[in-house]
Structure 1
Amino acid sequence: MGQVVSKDGTAIAYTRIGSGPALIIVDGAMCYRAFGPATALAEALSEHFTVYTYDRRGRGESGAGTPYDVEREVEDIAALIEEAGGSAHLFGMSSGGTLVAEAAHRGVNADRIAIYESPMIVDGTHPPMPADLPARVERAVAEGRRGDAIKLFMRYVGTPGYFIAMMQVMPMWKKLKGVAHTLPHDFALTGEFQRGTPPPADRWSGADVPALVIAGGKSPEYMRNAQQYLASALPQAELTVLPGQTHMVKAKVTAPVLVEFFQR
C-alpha cells in the first residue's frame, strides 16, 4: 500500500499494480479497495497500464478530512496524479464517474477520461430524487443508524427489498456500514444531477480532454439517456453502449473497451 497527502493534509491510501501509462480508477458510492469492483478491474488492466486504485476520503485506510467538500476529492485525485508522474488517465464508475468529470472540469492533469454510468436523471423517464433524501440519510448517519442510511440509499437506487434483507445477514453488510457515513458525500457530488432536468450545456466545459462515456445496454432508460446527455455535454466525448450490461458492469467486459480508448 502507498499513501499520498492531499492538499488539506488528509492521507489518501492507494495500491499500484502493473506497468505502462498511469491510470487511476475512481470508485462509486460505498466502494473502496477492500470492497467493490476496482480491484478486479485493476488486475484486468494491469497488463497495459500502471493502475492506481485508492480509498476515497473517509473510506478504508484513507483519512476523512473535515468538513467535506467536492473540491477536496478533486485535490485527492490531483495528489494521486502527481504521485503517478504528473499526468494520468482517469476512469470513474457511478458517482466516481461524476467525480472524474468534475476533476477534469476543474483542471486536474488528465490525459483521457472514461466514465461508466454517472448517476443522473435528466428527463421524465424516472422520478427525480426526493428533495429530503440527502437530509434523511445524513440524519441517520448522525444518529448512528448506519444500517438505516444504507437502506434509504439502496431503496432509492432501486435495490429490491428482498435483496436488501438478504444483505443484512451477509458479511458485506458490515463493510457497507463501515462506509455508510460517506453517503452524504456522494449526494453532495451527484445531487445537482438528480433533478429530472438536464444540467446546463456548459456544466463541464472545462473538461476539454478526450472522453469516453459508457452505458450498459440493459440499464434503465433514464440511465442510458443520462449518459447520452453527458457525452453531448463534455467537449470531446463519445458514447458507447455495452450490450447486456447493467450498472453492475463486469471487469472482463469493461477492460477491453478501456484499453482500446486509452491506448489511442
Structure 2
Amino acid sequence: MTSADGTLIAYDRHDGHAGTVILIGGAFSYRKFPKMVALAETLNEQYGLTVLNYDRRGRGDSTDSAGDYDIAREIDDIAALVEAVGGSAMLFGWSSGAALALRAAGSGRIPGITKVVAFEPPFVVDHEGFVPAADLETTLRDLVAADRRADTVRFYLTKAMGIPRAMVSVMRFTPFWKNLLATANSTPHDWVVMRDFMRGDPLRAEDWTTVKAQTLVIAGAKSDTLLRKGAQAIAAVLPDAELQEIPNLNHNPNITLLAPAAGEFLTGTAENTN
C-alpha cells in the first residue's frame, strides 16, 4: 500500500467476518515479530476479525522518508490502511503503538476509527521513577543519521524506555538483538509519538477530548509501575474508556492472556455475555 507521501507500507491481512482491526506495534516492533503474528492469528481464528498486521514506516518491508519524523505521516499511514479496508476499522496498539492509535483516533483525520485497544501506552505521568532526558531527541537523531545501530538500540532502550543498562548488555547476546538492530533507525518515529507525554507531567483531559472512539486500556498486573500508572492515567482522561488490568500479564505479553480481553472488546462479545 502507498501512503500519502509515497512511502510503501507492507502489511499482512487475515480475512474474517466480525469487523476489522489494525495492529500497531511499538518501538522495535514489526509485523513478523512472533507475538504480533500470534496476536493477529488469534484475533482472526478465535474472534473472526479481519486483522491487518503492518510494518510501521522505516521497519520491516515498509519504506520511509529520510529524516521525516512527523506523527502526521504515521497517521497518514493508518488512514491509508483504514481506506484500504473500506473506510472503517478498529485499532489495537501496543506500547508507543497504543499512544499512536489514540492520537490517530483523536486527530479528526480518520473518522472511520470505531474502537481502540491501548495496551500499556508508556506515558510518564510523575517524577517518582524514570523520566527521559530533555535532550534525548537530538542525540537519538544524530545516532540514526550516523547509522550507529547498536548505539541507537542501547541509547533508546536505556534513555527512552528506562531499561537498566545491565539488562540491555545481556540482550546483546540473544537471538533477538539482530531484530533490534534492523529496526533501530525507526525509533525517532516512536519518540515523536511519545515525547510530549513522557515529561513526568499529569495527562490533561483537554488533550484527549477529540478521541471519540470507545476505548479499552489494558495493563498487566505484573508490568512495571510506570506502565500501570500510565494506563490508569490515560483511561481516566479519555472521554469513553475503561481500564482492565490483567493478572499475570506484563509488557512482554502472553498472547493467550491478552487476546481474550482485546477480542471480546473488539467484537462486542464481552457486553453480550454480561
TM-superposed CA distance for 1:257, in Å, is 0.4
Out of 144, 147, 157, which is 1:144 matched to? 147
**More deviation in 191-200 or 134-143?**
134-143
Return the TM-score normalized by structure 2. 0.91
Which residues of 2 match residues 94-173 of structure 1 at below 5 A?
Answer: 94-107=95-108, 108=110, 109-156=112-159, 157-173=161-177
Aligned partner of 1:142: which letter?
A
Q: Could you say if the C-alpha distance between residues 170 and 222 of structure 1 is closer, same or farther in structure 2, counting changes exceeding 3 Å? A: closer
User: 1:185-204 deviations in whole A, cap 9, x for unaligned?
Assistant: 11111011111111321112
- Seen in structure 2, the aligned counterparts of structure 1 residues 181 and 36 have a Cα distance that, compared at 3 Å, is farther
Report the TM-score, using the length of structure 1 for normalisation.
0.94
Percent pairwise identity:
40
Q: CA deviation at 1:101?
A: 0.3
Q: AA paired with 1:99? A: L
Gaps of at least 5 residues in structure 1 are: none
Counterpart contact for 1:125–1:221, Cα < 8 Å: no
**What residue is the counterpart of 1:56 in the other structure?**
56
Matching residue of 1:251: 255
Contact 2:216–2:241 (Cα < 8 Å) also in 1 = yes
Point out where structure 2 has 5 or more consecutive residues left out of the alignment. 269-274
List aligned pairs for 1:11-30, cutoff 5 A.
Answer: 11-20=8-17, 21-30=19-28
Hey, what does 1:35 align to over in structure 2? 33
Q: Match of 1:78, SS?
A: helix
8 Å CA contact retained: 2:132, 2:162? no
Whether 1:175 aligns to 2:187 is no
Aligned equivalent of 1:6 = 3
Q: Which residue of 2 aligns with 1:187?
A: 191
User: How many Å apart are 1:158 and its aligned residue?
Assistant: 3.8
State which drifts further: 161-170 or 212-221.
Answer: 161-170
Alpha-carbon distance in 2 for matches of 1:256, 1:172: 27
Cα-to-partner distance string for 1:191-225 (whole Å, 9 max, x where unaligned) = 11111111321112111111001111112222212
Quote the Cα distance in structure 1 between the aligned partners of 2:126 and 2:163. 21
Q: 1:224 & 1:163 partners in 2: Cα distance?
A: 21
How do 1:206-245 residues align onto structure 2 when only pairs under 5 Å count? 206-245=210-249
Q: C-alpha separation between the residues in 1 aligned to 2:125 and 2:69? A: 26
Instruction: Give the number of equivalent residue pairs.
Output: 261
For residues 219 and 101 of structure 1, the distance between their equivalents in structure 2, rounded to whole angstroms, comes to 21
Q: In the alignment, what sits opposite 2:89?
A: 88
Say which is worse superposed, 129-138 or 241-250, in terms of deviation.
129-138
Go from structure 1 to structure 2 and tell me whether the alpha carbon gap of 1:129 and 1:161 turns closer, same or farther (over 3 Å shift). Answer: closer
